[in-house]
Every structure is written in C-alpha cells, then in structure tokens.
C-alpha cells in the first residue's frame, strides 16, 4: 500500500484542484439551468404561452443530460486506458467553449427556429463534457486519498457543484437587477461570456496535479482493458444499476429545489426573481459546508447509513417543501430550500467515494461514470420537465410533484439498501494469485473486516 497513497500535501493539492475545476464546470452547467428557468422561454420560445415556453426551455435543459452518458463512455474509456488527469483538462475546455458560445447566440427574433436549434446543440456539447468530467475529478480525489479519509476527500469535487451553483446564481442575480429590457437584451449573456476567464484558470490548475497513484499502479499490470465500458457492463452490471438507482432521489430532488422552484415561484406564485435566487444562494452556501461534513461522517459510520438518511430526508420534505413556498413568506421559502438541500447533501457527500468503491481500478472511470451519468438522464434531466408537466396537468397544484419526489426517494432507498457497504475496502489491485483481477481487495489495516454485502 505504500505506493498507493500520496503525502498529505499532495492529497490536499489534488482535492483543491478537483474542487476548483469541478466548480468551474458546474458554473457553466448551472448557468444554463438558471437561464432556462428565467430567460430562455421568452427569448428562444416566444410563440408559446408562459407555461409551455418554460416546458420547452426545460426540454433543452434536459438535452444536456442525454449527452452525459455518452461523455462518460468516451472519456471513461480514455480515462481507464491512458489516465484520469488528461481527461479533466479536455472536458473543462469543451464545457467552456460551449458555455461561451451560448452567450453569443442570436435569439428567436433574430434567426427564428435556428436559435433554439443552436441552443440545443450547445447544450449537448455541455452535457458531453460534463459527462466525462465527473468520473475523472472524483477518482483523482478518491484514489489519492488515504483509505480512512476517502469519504471526506471524495466530497471535495462534490463541493464543486454547490460552488458552481453559488457563483452562477450570484452572477445571474447581479445582472437580473438590470431593467427588464437591458437584462433581456444583453444582461443575461454576460455570465456566459465570463466562463472564458474561469476555464483558463481551471485548466492551469488541473495541469499542475499528478496522476492518480492507484491508476499508475494499474498501468504496471499486464492486460489493460480493451473496451472498459463493455468490461464494466459485463463485470459489474449490478453495481451500475444500483448506482443509478441511488442517484434518483439525489439528482431529481436537487434540480427540483434549485431549478424548477425558480419557474414555480415566478410563474405560478408571482414571486420576485430575487426572492428565489437569493433563497437558492443561501441554501447553496449551506450545501457547500454540509457536503464535506456528510462525506466525513461516511468515513466513520459507512456510506450506506449516511446515504439512506439523506433519501429519507428527501421523502419527508417532499410535501412541506411546497407548503412552505406557497406561503410566499421569504423566510419560509428560504427555509424550505435550505432543508431540502441539507437532505440532498447527506447523499451527495458520500456519493463520490461510494460509487468509486463499487468498481475495480481497471474499469473504475467507466463503471462509476455509467452509473452516475445514466441516472442523470432519467432523474435530474427530466425532473424539471416532469414537474412542470405535472403542474400543468393538475392545474397548478403541487401535490403531484411531491408524489413524484417521494417516488424518486423510494427508488434510492431500495437501491442503497441492496448495495454493499464499501467504506472499509481498499482500491488497490488484487495481488498475484489472489482474487479476480481488479476486485476490491482485503480491508485496510486500520479497519476491521467489512460487513458482507447485502
């Protein structure tokens, strides 16, 4: 094991680099979600009524999730073959170019149907880049970390999501204070154009970190995987399916409480944009702190108990979430979003280490990416669309959306319950003559034997 764990300084450096790079990528991705809720329905789908226009805008939002599994497959293939580090800079550049281009797009009034078509194309590129980025970022952190701190250090790239959302929402909130005409004419574009500066910073930082020591060890072994994604599907089908199920509540719930809530509050309740955006900002700041706390808790109590607690919290919040927002009281609206985001953090904090530990090094990038990104198509990508459609079907009532949220939580509860506990397993290759290649090997010396899989 001596060669598989970096020094404390190198682990911290990798964790910070993973956090910053992931935050920049999520800034790009979340910026689109905020604009889809508040702007795109009016600029790219103006011929529809407000609710239908919002549904169409969220449809383009969902398109990005469709491309994410493909990005996970492509970048996972090369990440398992040639390394994690190289893929991170490539995905960051790809996301940056697409986001910057969104800020330059002509609107429907200028080029007609070409405008939404180009918007969809750039969203596909965004999704493709993000689909490959997550696996590399979390593996760099998890594979550098000491075995007893993988949950904590694995949560650092996860912190990039609320950091990116925080910056994206804050920047968008600043420009949304402009007079309506100026905001729709040019103000909404500036946050997208600013991504060019952030991407340059992120690439510089990521190029300065070392390759994963666990992957370097794997490179010394014979027989690299030919097609990692096919090997992952053949060797770890159960783990991929359970990882997908574990994401349903986490991913779907998140986009309802951070993206759908913006259109629900403004279109359905007539609330000011600033009230909702500021509520998301407050909740995101709490999220940023809660994620590493839950990640560290999973190092002590296990991945499954912490993750299950988060799923239960999501189910319990499904109805009160909308009851509090419907009061139109600012403090209660913010409280609702904060409570929802804390429940989400209990799942998101241990998720990186949990999913990484389900797969062997040989196909870990591909396997973890598949489980994570395939679920995003059906959960996060569709949740604002489904929630908006349910709202329209019910005549503006929120209870069908709450039932949908409960259903997502049930899927996650069952999936995590059926998963093996992994927090005491090592990530190193099996020794010669030992278990099957790339199986998770014996427990680390500081830990007792792991509990048997359920």
pLDDT value for 224: 60
Q: Can you tell me the distance from the alpha carbon of 139 to that of 356, in angstroms, rounded to the nearest whole number?
A: 7
Q: Can you tell me the distance from the alpha carbon of 404 to that of 281, in angstroms, rounded to the nearest whole number?
A: 25
Per-residue pLDDT of the chain (454 residues; tens, 9 = 90+): 334 444 555 888 888 888 888 888 788 777 877 787 778 878 887 766 666 666 676 776 677 778 888 888 888 888 888 777 778 788 888 888 888 998 999 988 888 888 888 888 888 888 888 888 888 888 888 888 888 899 999 999 999 888 988 888 888 888 888 888 898 889 889 999 988 888 888 778 777 777 777 777 766 666 666 788 888 899 999 999 999 999 999 999 998 988 888 888 988 888 988 888 889 889 989 999 999 999 999 999 999 999 999 999 999 999 999 999 999 999 999 999 999 999 999 999 999 999 999 988 888 888 998 898 888 888 877 888 899 899 989 988 999 999 999 999 999 999 999 999 988 887 765 433 333 444 333 333 333 334 333 3
Residue 4 near residue 213, CB atoms below 8 Å: yes
Q: What is the CATH number of domain 8-208+224-418?
A: 1.20.1250.20
pLDDT value for 292: 96
Q: Can you tell me the distance from the alpha carbon of 40 to that of 34, in angstroms, rounded to the nearest whole number?
A: 9
Residue 26 in tokens = 């999520």
Backbone Cα Rg of the chain: 21
pLDDT value for 55: 67
pLDDT value for 448: 38
Angle at 116 between CA 111 and CA 117, to 5 degrees: 95
Break the chain into its structural domains and give their ranges: 8-208+224-418
* SS3 category, 195: helix
DSSP H stretches of helix in 82-176: 84-102, 108-111, 114-144, 150-176
Q: The pTM is what? A: 0.79
CA 276 to chain centre: 21
Q: Can you tell me the distance from the alpha carbon of 168 to that of 35, in angstroms, rounded to the nearest whole number?
A: 10
Q: Can you tell me the distance from the alpha carbon of 158 to that of 443, in angstroms, rounded to the nearest whole number?
A: 25
Kindly state the DSSP code that residue 450 receives in the 8-state scheme: P
pLDDT value for 436: 40
Nearest to 370 by CA among 76, 57, 142: 76
Nearest to 65 by CA among 155, 18, 129: 129
pLDDT value for 453: 34
């Amino acid at each position: 094991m001596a060669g598989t764990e970096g020094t404390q300084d190198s682990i911290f450096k990798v964790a910070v680099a993973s956090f910053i790079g992931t935050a920049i990528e999520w800034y790009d991705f979340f910026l689109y979600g905020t604009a889809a809720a508040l702007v795109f329905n009016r600029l790219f789908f103006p011929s529809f009524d407000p609710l239908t226009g919002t549904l169409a805008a969220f449809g383009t939002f969902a398109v990005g999730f469709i491309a994410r599994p493909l990005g996970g497959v492509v970048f996972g293939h090369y990440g398992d073959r040639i390394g994690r580090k190289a893929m991170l800079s490539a995905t960051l550049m790809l996301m940056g170019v697409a986001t910057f281009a969104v800020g330059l797009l002509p609107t429907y009034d200028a080029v007609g149907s070409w405008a939404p078509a180009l918007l969809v194309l750039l969203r596909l590129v965004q999704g493709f880049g993000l689909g490959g980025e997550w696996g590399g970022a979390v593996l760099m952190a998890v594979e550098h970390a000491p075995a007893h701190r993988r949950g904590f250090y694995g949560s650092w790239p996860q912190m990039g999501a609320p950091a990116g959302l925080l910056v994206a929402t804050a920047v968008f909130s600043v420009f949304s204070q402009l007079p309506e005409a100026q905001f729709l004419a040019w103000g909404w574009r500036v946050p997208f154009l600013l991504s060019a500066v952030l991407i340059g910073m992120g690439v510089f930082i990521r190029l300065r970190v070392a390759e994963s020591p666990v992957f370097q060890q794997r490179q010394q072994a014979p027989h690299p995987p030919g097609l990692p994604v096919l090997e992952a599907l053949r060797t770890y089908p159960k783990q991929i399916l359970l990882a997908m199920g574990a994401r349903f509540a986490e991913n779907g719930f998140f986009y309802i409480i951070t993206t759908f809530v913006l259109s629900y509050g403004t279109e359905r309740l007539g609330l000011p944009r600033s009230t909702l955006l500021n509520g998301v900002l407050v909740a995101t700041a709490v999220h940023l702190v809660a994620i590493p706390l839950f990640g560290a808790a999973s190092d002590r109590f296990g991945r499954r108990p912490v993750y299950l607690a988060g799923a239960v919290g999501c189910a319990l919040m499904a109805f009160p979430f909308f009851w509090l927002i419907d009061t139109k009281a600012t403090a209660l609206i913010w409280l609702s979003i904060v409570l929802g985001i804390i429940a989400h953090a209990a799942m998101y904090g241990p998720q990186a280490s949990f999913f990484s530990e389900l797969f062997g090094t040989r196909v870990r990038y591909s396997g973890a990416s598949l489980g994570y990104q395939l679920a995003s198509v059906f959960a996060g990508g569709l949740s604002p669309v489904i929630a908006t459609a349910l709202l329209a079907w019910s005549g503006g009532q929120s209870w069908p959306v709450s039932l949908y949220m409960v259903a997502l939580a049930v899927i996650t509860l069952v999936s995590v319950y059926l998963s093996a506990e992994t927090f005491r397993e090592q990530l190193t290759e099996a020794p010669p003559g030992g278990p099957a290649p790339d199986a998770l090997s014996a427990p680390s010396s500081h830990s007792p034997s792991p509990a048997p899989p359920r």
